[in-house]
Amino acid sequence: MQTVSPLAALAEIKGAYEEAGQRQLEGLRMARELGLEAEVSARLSGLGRLALLARDWDRARDLHERARRIAAEQGYTYGEIHSGMGLALGARRSGDLDAAEAHLLRLREGFAAVSSRAGDHLLCAELGFIAELRGEAGPAAAHHLRGLDIARVLAEPRALALSLEGLAGAAALTGDRPAAVCAARLLGAAAAARRRAGAPLPPAERGDVDRVTAAARAVLGAPAFTEAFDLGDRGGREDAEDAEDAEGVEDAVREARALLGLPAPPPTRRAAP
């Protein structure tokens, strides 16, 4: 039973959704046989996540709702958070931005005392994407920059990549050439971070990245987009030997702030010797 969740998650990260589904179903069967209701909730949420990736919105919503009800009945806080986030993800991806925002705000207000940094990061990312889809570049960037700060504390390449992708989307909303170049550089850095984690985005999870890529490429044209993307990619590599390349990622983040009219963060103070 203890191996179900990590093995299913690993299969999902690799894009092996059939294997992930089989593991979740086997875990669900065992949990029901053993009367482990909290584990039933977790496995239903896992299956709901896979339904999201298959774009089966109704099934995803049903599975996450069932998981949420069981978790609430059992006092299983993590299960309520996980299923609630699944409902938010499904609502956004199916186009119901108001419902997605409501789910996210309910999570933020109801579970702030027990939320993890990883959970806070995902919440920032989702609020940022909702703002972007509403055409609100400034609020979108503000959410993603807060997420970026959390990602740096987590030191988790996939979290860093998600924040960079979101910030790219906010920049691309302006529709002008400097912002599109900035967006392409951020996307390149995000792609490098995902490769560093050994987890490039599988096709089913590329919706946000593909949308932002299309917006930036439409402004720049394919050759200029590729040039800017490759520049960001070089800077985002762990083994970047060129200090100018590595600094280029931070330059792109600072440029995004400036283009969107957001204040620069306060300088980091060094501890006294």
Comparing C-alpha atoms, which of 216, 126, 121, 206 is closest to residue 160? 121
Among 166, 161, 165, smallest CA distance to 140 is for 166
pLDDT band at 5 (very low <50, low <70, confident <90, very high): confident
pLDDT grade, residue 117 (50/70/90)?
very high
% residues pLDDT > 90 (the chain):
78
Residue 72: DSSP 8-state = H
Q: Report whether 191 contacts 161 (CB < 8 A).
A: yes
Query: DSSP assignment, residue 134?
Result: T
Using CA atoms of 124, 128, 129, 133 in order, give the dihedral in degrees to the nearest 10.
150
The Cα 165–Cα 207 span in angstroms is 11
Percent of the chain at pLDDT exceeding 70: 92
What's the pLDDT score for residue 66? 98
**In this predicted model, what pLDDT tens digit does every residue of 210-256 receive, in sequence order?**
999 999 999 999 999 999 999 999 876 655 444 444 566 788 899 99
The mean pLDDT value for 58-72 works out to 98
| Closest by Cα among 11, 62, 15, 77 to 27 | 11
Residue-level pLDDT at 199: 84
Residue 218: HSE in the Cβ half-sphere, 13 Å Cα cutoff: 11
pTM for the model: 0.90
Q: What is the predicted pLDDT for the residue at 266?
A: 66
pLDDT score at 273: 41
pLDDT value at position 244?
45
Residue 271 has pLDDT above 50, yes or no: no
pLDDT exceeds 90 at position 18: yes
Enter the tokens of residue 23.
């593991």
The SS3 call for residue 206 is coil
Cα–Cα dist 49/187, whole Å: 25
